[in-house]
Amino acid sequence: MHAFLPLFAVFAAALFSTGAAMGQGTERYTKVANQLVELLNAGDYAGIQTSFNQQMNAALPLDKSSAFFNGLTRQMGKIQKLGEPRSVGGMMVFPATFEKGTLDMHVVLDSRGLIAGLLFKPRVAAKAEPERRQTQLSLTARYAKVASRLVELLNAGDYAGIQTNFNQEMDAALPLDKSSAFFNGLTQQMGKIQKLGEPRPVGEAMVYPATFEKGTLDMQLALDSRGLIAGLTFTPHVAAKAEPEKRQAQLSLPFKGRWPVFWDGDTRELNPHHDVNECATGGSPPGALADSPVAPITLPPFAPPLLLSKNRVDKISLGGNNFAFRCD
């Protein structure tokens, strides 16, 4: 795609309530996404506006959203279908097939099911592994520089400085008065950013875990071909699940001492007791089975005499434990 016209995001309730978009099912997001597509294709931008929550509506009023959606439709055509969604952080991503191409539509909902964040960005097919690795190295360095500068300006309260890093479409979608109100509110609630964690690529964007004074959010940053900010979102950070702790438990038999072991089998080769009609073991004092392949086999002094009949299972109970023996 030549331009990043549809690449922008507005960060609303999900940023002011860090758990808002977490734990919501795919079905709920799919319903809102399908309604959004229906209204967008019908040109009912006022209808879309009613799906925004209060912060989203303030960040992107009707005149701005209408201009954006109208430009999006002119450039990409109508949406023909939505693909299978996938969860990315606190948002849901739908591959949206337009008449003239495909974009990834990112949707964030607040706790009431209203749209708290919306992002359209180019969808790029997977590249060959060597090329992707080489590209990733250059992208990481490029994004790290912009992300560090963004944190520096945000912590200094230089919102006009941040605005100069927006590309034309981002600046039109989020003018200085709106972006200043947002960044100021973000700082009031979360404090300053103390550090950025290791980034991970998500499509054409890079996601940084941003540790604020009062919590952590995922900062998703998208740059255009000139290195200007074409998309920016803050969503609730979802920590990676820790692997289950490996435990080592010592196992033992439910009794101590030496116990009789009978070699069981259906043939004379496998079982030396095969031709014996009655097998007896002595009780106390301890004794051993003379014809057992395991010798010596000692019974504990307290064990009663055992009479084992051929082809019959005899059960005894010792110390609360039940045992079965068979003499073949």
Selection from 229, 220, 216, 202 nearest residue 118 by Cα: 220
Look at residue 44 in the predicted model and tell me its pLDDT. Answer: 95
Q: What does R_g of the chain's alpha carbons equal in angstroms?
A: 35
- pTM of this structure: 0.42
Q: Which helix (H) or strand (E) holds 96?
A: strand 91-98
- Three-class SS of residue 252? coil
Distances (CA, A) of 52 to 93, 160, 244, 250, 270: 17, 26, 40, 58, 79
Q: What is the pLDDT of residues 168-222, one digit of tens each?
A: 888 888 899 999 999 999 999 999 999 999 998 887 788 999 999 999 999 999 9
Residues 80-118: tens digit of each pLDDT: 999 999 887 678 889 999 999 999 998 998 888 899 888
Choice between 221 and 124, residue whose per-residue pLDDT is larger: 221
Q: Please state which architecture CATH assigns to domain 9-236.
A: Roll (3.10)
Q: Is 166 exposed, middle or buried (0-12, 13-18, 19+ CB in 10 A)?
A: buried
Over residues 2-29, the pLDDT tens digits come to 333 333 444 433 333 333 333 447 888 9
Domain boundaries, the chain: 9-236, 256-328
Instruction: Tell me if 142 sits within 8 A of 223, measured CB to CB.
Output: yes
Decide which of 226 and 296 is more confident. 226
For the ranges 72-81, 189-198, 318-327, which has the lowest average pLDDT?
Answer: 318-327
The residue with greater pLDDT, 246 or 262, is 246
Q: Give the Cα separation of 108 and 89 in Å (integer).
A: 10
Contact predicate 207/236, CB 8 Å: no
Q: How far apart are CA 17 and CA 276, in angstroms?
A: 80
Q: What is the pLDDT of residue 266?
A: 63
% of residues, the chain, pLDDT over 90: 37
Q: Are strands 306-309 and 278-281 parallel, antiparallel or unpaired?
A: antiparallel
Say what the pLDDT of residue 7 is: 37
CA 118 centroid distance within chain: 20
pLDDT of residue 27: 86
Q: Are 121 and 220 in contact (CB under 8 A)?
A: no
Nearest alpha carbon to residue 52 among 42, 66, 41: 66
Say which amino acid occupies 118.
L
Segment 288-313, tens digit of pLDDT = 333 334 333 344 444 444 444 444 44
User: What's the mean per-residue pLDDT of the chain?
Assistant: 74
The arithmetic mean of pLDDT across residues 51-57, rounded, is 90
